[in-house]
Amino acid sequence: MNVIEVHNLTKHYGASWALRECTLAVPEGRVTALIGPNGAGKTTLLNLVVGLTYPSSGTVSVLGGQRAGSLAALAGIAFVAQDAPLYKNLSAADLLHETRNLNRFFDQHYAERRLEDLGLPLRRRAGEMSGGQQAQLALTLALARRPRLLVLDEPMAMLDPIARHDFMATVMNAARQDGVSVVLSSHVLAELERVADHIVLVSRGTILLAGMIEDILAAHRHVVGPLSESDRYAGQWDVVHSQSSASEVRMLVRADGRSDGAPPGWKVRPVTLEELSLAYLRQPGSATSADTAPGWKAIPSDVTT
């Protein structure tokens, strides 16, 4: 089953386009990393999935075919936005009470036990908590609804490294122990590589890449060789992104099962999720295509996605 399916999805606000004809399927039981630069359309996509806004055209369904935003869909999805929106003048106990009254199901015992384990007093107001504590409170409220799909939009943006680690540990426990499917938008690529097994890469309102991370990484290579021979050997691979110095060329390429054997004088190695993501985002026309490493320049490449 797919927890998210979108087909020819488009969303625009007046003359401004947020998403353009996106088609995507996110499988059940995965931790999916949603990656892209600011303004790529990530938040718009997540808002459409949880029913906070509606498509200009195309379709969005969740949890095996439920219409996004329908009562059946809302009952199975929990959403934590970037700023962990909480009523700052309410205590944790008040927020638990409010959330319980607004939802068909709420596991009060789980929520209270989890806040106790975190050392968060029920009488403390949300506005008196640290950023990490507020994020954990928002996550507790979401998980106590026992969702089938947990959607997280940049929940760690304002957290320190320890708070990020603790937050993600909770998310991973929910995914592993309770079978919750997770879609997580974040700029912390190193963190995503540690926890995610599925990726959706977005830029300028379009889906650049989607699939299982293990399979996608296995299909790509990082190759380095003499600049003078770049034209001769570049045709051996589908080049995603290239950078050159005075004497050397570096390419991230799609090998697609072809041999790792490199020509004499060339080096080939596997790629990381961060390298893969940056290469696709820096391809011509992407929002970050002008970014290159110091002392290097981008050279044209033919990109197949």
Query: Would residue 114 count as lying in a domain?
Result: yes
CA distance 87 to 128: 11
Query: Would residue 305 count as lying in a domain?
Result: no
User: Are 207 and 279 part of one and the same domain?
Assistant: no
Query: Would residue 304 count as lying in a domain?
Result: no
Query: Would residue 135 count as lying in a domain?
Result: yes
Query: Would residue 95 count as lying in a domain?
Result: yes
pLDDT digits (tens, 9 = 90+) for 135-182: 899 999 999 999 999 999 987 777 788 888 888 888 898 888 888 999
Query: Would residue 155 count as lying in a domain?
Result: yes
User: Are 112 and 169 part of one and the same domain?
Assistant: yes
User: Are 153 and 10 part of one and the same domain?
Assistant: yes
User: Are 141 and 271 part of one and the same domain?
Assistant: no
CA angle 239, 272, 243 (to 5 degrees): 40
Which of 169, 186, 213 lies at the terminal end of a domain, its last residue?
213
Query: Would residue 76 count as lying in a domain?
Result: yes
CATH number (domain holding residue 65): 3.40.50.300
DSSP single-letter state for residue 157: T
Which of 213, 229, 256 lies at the terminal end of a domain, its last residue?
213
User: Are 256 and 192 part of one and the same domain?
Assistant: no
Tokens of 59: 């379709």
- CB burial class (10 A; 0-12, 13-18, 19+) of residue 261? exposed
Residue found under tokens 């760690």: 156
CA distance 9 to 114: 38
The total of structural domains in the chain comes to 2
Which residues span the domain enclosing 130?
A: 2-213
Q: What residues in the chain have per-residue pLDDT under 50?
A: 287-305
Order of all β-strands in the sheet with 57-62: 16-27, 2-13, 57-62, 66-67
- Please give the model's pTM, rounded to 2 decimal places: 0.85
Q: What's the pLDDT score for residue 302?
A: 38
Query: Would residue 189 count as lying in a domain?
Result: yes
CA distance 172 to 174: 5
Tokens of 70: 């329908």
User: Are 188 and 230 part of one and the same domain?
Assistant: no
The b-or-e profile of 114-134 (16+ CB within 10 A means b, else e) is bbeebebeeeebbeebeebbb
Which of 213, 244, 265 lies at the terminal end of a domain, its last residue?
213
Tokens of 240: 């995603």
